[in-house]
Amino acid sequence: MNFLPTPFPGLYLIEPKVYGDHRGYFFESFQQKKFDEAIGKIEFVQDNESKSGYGVLRGLHFQRPPFTQAKLVRCITGAILDVVADLRRNSPTFKKTYSIELSGSNKLQLFIPRGFAHGFVVLSEEALFSYKVDNFYSLDHDAGILYDDPELLIDWVIPNEALKLSEKDRGLPLFSETVLPFSM
């Protein structure tokens, strides 16, 4: 398992070692000891999974303190464009975004530390998306930023008319209207 730092402090791309043969493949998707050595001690408390079709956009989501969450995300089948926005005011990458294609083929994972908004859009006909979180979900602390915020300039790759969003995600506030209680 390779832990590859990104230009964003604390954000890591994780590349597993995949062992394949005529039967298929095997890889470790998570190993606590390796994770602790490369990134630090994180205790994941919940695993989540979603299945979505082409053009479904989920995000940009985050939770406010004391229920902020770090996430370890991956796409099991299909392909998605995974996007994060750094909401940590004193970060050198504050208000910048990072995107990466995660897929069942490349098997890459992304570790997202606390203080980031997260979202993804499905690039394939269908995608199965899985993620671990280090804090429980709290409806009262659920928050987000509008996916097409003009300050963030996110290229979602898919034409806007093909995007499918929930009413909740269409109604999220702009970055400038969002209270950001995060620091590094």
Active-site residue list: 61, 131
Give the Cα separation of 71 and 74 in Å (integer). 10
Host H or E run for residue 100:
strand 97-103
Give the Cα separation of 116 and 70 in Å (integer). 8
Structure tokens at 33: 């000891």
Give the Cα separation of 94 and 183 in Å (integer). 9
Amino acid of residue 102: L
Bond prior to 165 in cis (omega within 30° of 0): no
What are the backbone dihedrals phi and psi of residue 130, each rounded to the nearest 5 degrees, phi first? -130, 145
Structure tokens at 105: 């083929």
